[in-house]
A = this chain, B = another copy of it.
């Protein structure tokens, strides 16, 4: 049950739309690099997981979504958060535990959320966000608002039982749910295929859910693959499952520097052959949709924007101590 369409929807995308995707991917990458700097300089508390290399999935999927659509994300979730519409300052603020963060500093990198843009939250429980987005899809169905619920999760979450339960529920209730697996081939330090049996898309097909493997390093491929799924979901056609083939360029977390569980060659190959930003950049240039210098200018703008946001967040105050026992219960 592959999800294909006759002529790829991305062919109809205006240059501006493609450029926007590029800009988003560049922003995510610059954001992540800046987060890495914070961490290296010990200016950021806790741990963090960067999504460099995986930008195309977040951007390609979220391009179909609006504010009434909900996503849930993971511990590697900065890209999803930004692609869904969040702003850089409160993102940095949250990661630094500042009062101006989306969650007032209470959530941090692993729990960042932005209700306004329909982001229900990153999650530090592997698989934890899957039923939440599926529940958002249930709301959309009951409230008949044509919304969809998208859960992003890693290949590691494929082995959490909650996936089976959520997929089955989405299937029997025909929910507008999209299960978006980012297969970056490792869960922490363990290769995915060592702990994950069978063909991955079968885990969706087992429930009669249309399922497809997609090149997650190609933002237009991601865009094309999910277009029909989102439309079908909105029209009451039920859930879809995607396994996006992708790669995290850096370590699992910041402390994972040597990455003994994989080879330098492997890393080099992904970076040099399949980089999603390079790819879209070359497409745009090849199609004559913009010039090198225009793209370089975008890159500079993005970096400046990120740097400025980082500065603002860094200057922001920590939360007031009185915040500590607020928000345990809602009134």
Binding site for B on A (CB under 8 A): 159-165, 167-168, 171-172, 194-199, 202-203, 205-209
A-B contact pairs, 12 of them (CB 8 A): A159-B164, A160-B165, A161-B165, A168-B196, A168-B198, A171-B197, A172-B195, A172-B196, A172-B197, A197-B209, A199-B208, A202-B205
Q: List 8 A-B pairs, minimum CB-CB distance, nearest first.
A: A161-B161, A171-B197, A202-B206, A164-B164, A197-B207, A198-B208, A198-B207, A206-B206
Residues of B within 8 A of A202 (CB): 202, 205-206
Copies of this chain assembled into the complex: 2
For residue A198, which residues in chain B have a CB less than 8 angstroms away from its CB? 168, 171, 205-209
A201 to B173, CA, bound (A): 21
Closest chain-B Cβ to A141's Cβ sits at a distance in Å of 16
Kindly list chain B residues whose C-beta atoms are within 8 Å of the C-beta of A168.
159, 195-198
Of chain B, the residue at the smallest CB distance from A172 is B197
Contacts of A199 in B (CB 8 A): 206, 208
User: With the chains together, A203 CA to B162 CA distance in Å?
Assistant: 14
Q: Which interface residue of A159, A164, A199, A207 has the most chain B CB atoms within 10 A? A: A164
- A161 touching B163 by the CB < 8 A rule? yes
Chain B residues with CB under 8 A of A206: 198-199, 202-203, 205-206
State how many angstroms separate the Cβ of A202 from the closest Cβ of chain B.
Answer: 4
* Nearest CB in chain B: distance from A215 CB, A: 22
Q: How far is the CA of A168 from the CA of B194 in the complex (A)?
A: 11
**A171 and chain B: residue at smallest CB distance:** B197
Contact check, B205 vs A197: say whether CB atoms are below 8 A apart: no
Interface centre among A163, A194, A198 (most CB of B within 10 A): A198
User: How close is A298's CB to chain B, nearest CB, in angstroms?
Assistant: 43
CB-nearest residue of chain B relative to A170? B197
Q: Which listed residue, B161, B194, B205, touches A162 by the CB 8 Å rule?
A: B161
Complex: chain B residue closest to A159, CB-CB: B168
List of B residues within 8 angstroms of A162 by Cβ: 161
Whole-angstrom distance from the CB of A177 to the nearest CB of chain B?
A: 12
**Nearest CB in chain B: distance from A240 CB, A:** 13
Measured between beta carbons, the chain B residues less than 8 angstroms from A197 are 167-168, 171-172, 207-209
**Nearest CB of B to A147, in Å:** 22
Question: What B residues does A195 contact at CB under 8 A?
Answer: 168, 172
How far does the alpha carbon of A195 sit from the alpha carbon of B171 in the complex, in Å?
Answer: 9
Residues of B within 8 A of A165 (CB): 159-161
Q: In this complex, what residue of B is CB-closest to A163?
A: B164
Q: How far is the CA of A195 from the CA of B206 in the complex (A)?
A: 14
Tell me, rounded to whole Å, the shortest Cβ–Cβ distance linking A174 to chain B.
10
Chain B residues within 8 Å of A172, by CB = 194-197
